[in-house]
Amino acid sequence: MKKVLALVLIALIAITGVFAQGSSESSSGLEKVTVAYMANYASLWSVVGAMNSGAFADQGIEVQLVEFADGPTIIAAMESGSIDVGYIGHGAHKLCVNGQADIFCFSHVGNGDAVIGLKSHGVTDDPASLKGKSIGYASGTSSETILRWTLEEAGLTFDDIVAYEMDASAITSAMTSGALDACASWSPSTFTILNNIGSDAFIISDNVTFSDRSASVASWIVMPEFAEENHDLLVRFTKALYAGMDYRAEHEDEVIGWVAEVLGVDFDTVYAQRGDAQWLTSSELIEDVKDGTVESLYEVQKGSFGSEVDPATPVSDYVLFDVMLEAAE
Amino acid sequence: MLFFLVMLLLLIELVFLAFRRDRRSVLLTFLSASTALFITGILIYIAKKGGISSETSFLLFGPDSLRRKLQYLVMTLGQLGYLVALGRCLTPFFLIITALDFCYFPLAIKLRRKSWLFAIPPLMTLVLYIPEVFGAFAKGGERSLAVAMAIPKIWIYGYIAAAVLILFHEFFSIKSSFFRRRFVTKMLILFSFALLFALFAGQDPAQIYLFYRNSYMINLGLWYLSAGHGTPLYIIVLAGSLLASIAGCVGTLRYFRVTIDEESEDVRLRRKAKDAAVGISMFIHGTKNELLSSRVLISRLERSGVVSDDLNQLKEINEKLIARMEKLHSSVRNEPQRLKPVSIEAVLEEALSIARKTNPAIIATIETSSPGISVLADFSHLAEALSNIIVNGWEASKAPVSIEAHLERLWVSISISDTGPGITRDVQSRIWEPFYSTKNSSSNWGMGMYFMRNIIRMHMGSVRIESRAGKGTKFIILLPKYNG
């Protein structure tokens, strides 16, 4: 017995040693960067394009992808040091405005958030039909924001509905099983719900509905200290992202296939998400940076956060335009 | 893997509970159930939240399909948060209660009587974590939230530390190596649960209720993503917990096997003795009648004036045989035991005195760790039973026999040691059988050890043999301590 226990212990210590060999430099001699993403096309299109087309390797970078459910968790993980670079959607940008993270690359303006209703449950195009309905949402995210705005359209508040605080995955399952009358979620959960339910499910409102109130910008972020200490790395990382953006423009189906492989889903599921945003090329993005379009988008976005952020904070305090421009050289 | 380990531990405890329906098994089952509840809740949370590497995911969930299943589980954040709160509050409570149940030092016994007091902090915390109550509290801002999170953390870590200290204190207060070995297996089982629980003990349910709250996550952090919570830590904890569980379970199974072996040996010996009893009774009856007739004839010869040394010798032999027949008879019949509190010192003195009647040359020392140790016993039967070991020890070594008695947890432990050649395993396996003897002597019929074991079992005690070739033999007799 003692011998068996000793052998098991030795084996486990050996395994621990193997797993514990974490290093910022990979075995291939490339600089290893841990990248946080969310399980959707919008999060992966440029980074996976850059990975598989060899753009990161060209910049001496090896990317290790780690999946997260949401932006705030990604920022929390970056704070703990387990993640170097992360992708965030609209909601988590308020943390950047508040100084918790720096944006080093603009990704896109999205249209992934939506409020979905079920006709068979008495929900109609009119937001007023949501009164008294059971609605699932993820509090503290863009899901809560879009639901609140939709309710406001009909003069309703959260007190007028039966609100269920859930995570995005649970919302998808609950909606698909018919446990909810409506929900507010984001892509790709919204596509999954619409695909699974079919014609009974429909979009009541999405980001386009409220384009006058907010810009649903998605970005690449790092911790401010990381940005200070790794300026060169960030520039090279951004260069690779640009290459990934351009590769997608010419090989969209191929990139969709790569993203589907990373997510472990079929091609069609990812293909359905290609309309979630207007995907830019590097030259379009650089032009938008240079002419101030990107800055104004961040301004509009900042305004949509209301009292949750200090409106006086200049966009240039948390968006590293210099990295975006230097990477374009 | 973590998920399966926790479920396996729960299954093992349920199996043990099915076999032994005692308070201790119930406590261990509650402990494993609350740990399983806690870990499952945490794993659902991690599955939904993400942020772990594929290696860590494998260590926590095993196949990816399980992680996906848990990720899409339909639960409100309130339900998931309260599930974790239940596991987080109940596990340290059952841990400390079970640790106290395993221990017998005076403070542990005192605390055990007031164990309901340990339920107060968990209950208060569970009230605080009712989703509606917590929601109202969280509105007070991050400072009040930080306080609400810190207080449970204090008592939770306090309970774990206290449980570990209690177990160590008990371990170091046990003198007998036999009891220590048995206690270590129990300690390891509890350590295994403590280790698994400690891995995520800092995971406050608030982190689940406020699943996506930015400010909360940034200011108060996320436990499972905090520094150190990576693949190496999970491997170490899983390995440590797995090893402790294996050692604990093997030890417990071994203990069960010994208990079952002892019980089956009891049955076997009883059956053997029952089979022999009819023949023995007839033999004793017939022989005794003949011996009594001889006694009458010897009396007649004495009365008729015959005086001779031969007649005196014949009379002596006849009387000895009658006495041996009486002794043999008493060893096979179930005589009622008249139990009353007796001093263990007095019993041992009487046992030595009886042994010296058989062999006046016996030299033995008696030592008791503290005066006034009492057991509930039939004084003469117990002394008679112990005298058999003293005689055997002396005959095996012809050197002083050491007799020691001390208190050990719930028991009075009596050890009778000799420095003889030791008893082989083969002989040990048959030593308790009736009419089994390795001595070629006319005065030994192989009933002494059988009789001794029977008497000890009637006193709710047990006997163990520790013997090493050339180093001697130690008989350890455990009798329930009398606390009257």
* Residue A48 pLDDT greater than 70, yes or no: yes
Q: What is the pLDDT of residue B295?
A: 87
In chain A, which residue's Cα lies nearest the Cα of B221?
Answer: A76
Domain boundary among B202, B229, B256: B229
3-state secondary structure of A38: strand
For residues A319 and A103, the answer to whether their CB atoms sit within 8 Å is: yes
Which has the minimum average pLDDT: A214-223, B255-264, B303-312?
B255-264
| Length of chain A (residues) | 329
CA torsion through residues B435, B439, B444, B449, sign:
negative
What band does B332 get if pLDDT is binned at 50, 70 and 90?
low
Cβ distance B73 to A173 less than 8 Å, yes or no, reads yes
Question: Is the domain of A227 the same as that of A318?
Answer: yes
Residue B36 structural domain = 2-229
Q: What is the pTM of this model?
A: 0.71
**Residue B137 forms part of a structural domain:** yes
**Residue B330 forms part of a structural domain:** no
Question: Is the domain of A169 the same as that of A229?
Answer: no
What band does B255 get if pLDDT is binned at 50, 70 and 90?
low
Question: Is the domain of A190 the same as that of A152?
Answer: yes
Q: pLDDT averaged over chain B? A: 83
Per mean pLDDT, which of A105-114, B34-43, B207-216 is the most reliable?
Answer: B34-43
Question: Is the domain of A248 the same as that of A322?
Answer: yes
**Residue B266 forms part of a structural domain:** no
* C-alpha span between B405 and B371 (Å, rounded): 10
Q: Say how many domains are in chain A.
A: 2
Per mean pLDDT, which of A219-228, B59-68, B176-185 is the most reliable?
Answer: A219-228
Question: For the residues of B288-356, what is the DSSP string, one character each?
Answer: HHHHHHHHHHHHHHHHTT---HHHHHHHHHHHHHHHHHHHHHHHHS-PPP--EEEEHHHHHHHHHHHHH
Q: Say how many domains are in chain B.
A: 2
Question: Is the domain of B37 the same as that of B183?
Answer: yes
Nearest one of B189, B205, B295, B302 to B242, comparing CA atoms? B189
| CATH code assigned at B450 | 3.30.565.10
Q: What is the pLDDT of residue B436?
A: 76
* C-alpha span between A43 and A244 (Å, rounded): 12
Question: Is the domain of A160 the same as that of A201?
Answer: yes
The shortest C-alpha distance from B45 to chain A (Å) reads 9
Burial (0-12, 13-18, 19+ Cβ within 10 Å), B163: buried
Question: For the residues of B372-423, what is the DSSP string, one character each?
Answer: T-EEEE-HHHHHHHHHHHHHHHHHHHSSPEEEEEEEETTEEEEEEEE-SS--
Q: pLDDT averaged over chain A? A: 87
**Residue A4 forms part of a structural domain:** no
**Chain B residues in contact with A113 (beta carbon < 8 A):** none
* C-alpha span between B40 and B37 (Å, rounded): 5
Q: What is the pLDDT of residue A19?
A: 45
The better pLDDT of the pair B347, B442 is held by B347
> Best mutation site among A35, A137, A166, A180 for testing chain B: the one with the most B CBs within 10 Å?
A166
**Residue A90: how many other CB atoms lie within 10 Å:** 26
Question: Is the domain of A102 the same as that of A126?
Answer: no
Cα distance between the two ends of chain B = 51
**Chain B residues in contact with A20 (beta carbon < 8 A):** 231-232
CB-nearest to B74 from A36, A91, A173 is: A173
Residue A308 structural domain = 30-110+216-327
**Residue B183 forms part of a structural domain:** yes
Question: Is the domain of A206 the same as that of A233?
Answer: no
* Residue B165 pLDDT greater than 90, yes or no: yes
Give the model confidence (pLDDT) of B18-68 as tens digits: 877 788 889 989 998 999 999 999 999 988 888 777 788 888 888 888 888
CB-nearest to B76 from A13, A72, A166 is: A166
Question: Is the domain of A223 the same as that of A187?
Answer: no
> Best mutation site among B74, B77, B195, B223 for testing chain A: the one with the most A CBs within 10 Å?
B74
The shortest C-alpha distance from A120 to chain B (Å) reads 21
In the stretch 87-116 of chain A, residues with CB closer than 8 A to chain B read 91-92, 94-95, 100
**Mean pLDDT across the stretch A308-325?**
92
The better pLDDT of the pair A197, A3 is held by A197
**Residue B242 forms part of a structural domain:** no
Domain boundary among A187, A210, A233: A210
> Best mutation site among B75, B215, B222, B225 for testing chain A: the one with the most A CBs within 10 Å?
B225
CB-nearest to B227 from A67, A80, A172 is: A80
Question: Is the domain of A179 the same as that of A312?
Answer: no
**Chain A residues in contact with B217 (beta carbon < 8 A):** 72-73, 75-76
* C-alpha span between A82 and B52 (Å, rounded): 9
**Residue B243 forms part of a structural domain:** no
**Residue A24 forms part of a structural domain:** no
Question: Is the domain of A137 the same as that of A231?
Answer: no
Question: Is the domain of A52 the same as that of A170?
Answer: no
Which has the minimum average pLDDT: A97-111, A150-164, B319-333?
B319-333
**Residue B326 forms part of a structural domain:** no
Q: What is the pLDDT of residue A123?
A: 94
The residues facing B340 across adjacent strands are B377
Domain boundary among A154, A181, A210: A210
Domain boundary among B211, B229, B247: B229
What band does A17 get if pLDDT is binned at 50, 70 and 90?
very low
Q: Does B66 touch chain A (CB under 8 A)?
A: no
Q: Which two tokens stand for residue A94?
A: 């308020």
* Residue A42 pLDDT greater than 80, yes or no: yes
Q: What is the pLDDT of residue B37?
A: 93
Residue carrying the six token digits 């099983």: A177
| CATH code assigned at A44 | 3.40.190.10
Nearest one of B238, B230, B232 to B52, comparing CA atoms? B230
Q: What ipTM did this prediction achieve?
A: 0.70
Cβ distance B76 to A170 less than 8 Å, yes or no, reads yes
Cβ distance B217 to A73 less than 8 Å, yes or no, reads yes
Domain boundary among B229, B249, B269: B229
Question: Is the domain of A150 the same as that of A61?
Answer: no
Nearest one of B402, B404, B400, B416 to B466, comparing CA atoms? B416
Cβ distance A140 to B212 less than 8 Å, yes or no, reads yes
Domain boundary among A210, A233, A260: A210
Give the model confidence (pLDDT) of B76-107 as tens digits: 888 999 999 999 999 999 999 999 998 988 89
